[in-house]
Amino acid sequence: MHDTAQEIRQRQDEILKAMGNIRRMRRGTLTHQTYPDRAHRKEGQGAVGPYGLWQGTVAGKRFGKRVSGVEAQDIEEGIARRHAFGALAEEYVALSCSLAALEQGQAPASEEALKKGL
């Protein structure tokens, strides 16, 4: 836990810099599907996968797209970057709340909960 307002501000600056370095992100999830029965139906000639299936929601509308192996790897990396960005944002919010409480002379909420036995 950060003890001083200066340490909190320094960590906030580090987070903002890290967030600024994330340039490309992707929404959604990526799953891999295989169809082993297809090879049997096509007498060994059917492609069985794995196929990448990228799905998600943008502006309330769902999307889904089959993607190739190379494209699937790029999408997986983009999704991982988006999750990392979200984790950084959550940490920044927690630090901001701690800073506000510290500047008002209050203990951060997590310390108050510990004192109350919650």
| In-domain check, residue 28 | yes
Summarize pLDDT for 42-59 with one digit per residue, the tens.
666 666 677 899 999 999
| pLDDT: which is higher, 4 or 14 | 14
CA dist., res. 110 & res. 100, Å (int): 13
Residue 16 counted as domain residue = yes
pLDDT at 109 over 60: no
Q: Residues 50, 68: contact at Cβ < 8 Å?
A: no
Cis before residue 36, ω within 30 degrees of 0? no
> Which 3 state secondary structure label does DSSP give 81?
helix
44 occurs within a structural domain:
yes
- A 10 A CB-CB count for 55 gives 13
The answer to whether the beta carbons of residues 76 and 27 sit under 8 Å apart is no
Domain that holds residue 67: 5-113
Residue 118 resides in a domain? no
Pick 46 or 37 by higher pLDDT. Answer: 37
- 11 lies in some domain: yes
Q: Count the domains in the chain.
A: 1
Give this prediction's pTM: 0.74
Whether 106 is covered by a domain: the verdict is yes
Whether the predicted pLDDT of 63 surpasses 70: yes
Say what the pLDDT of residue 103 is: 86
Say what the pLDDT of residue 112 is. 60
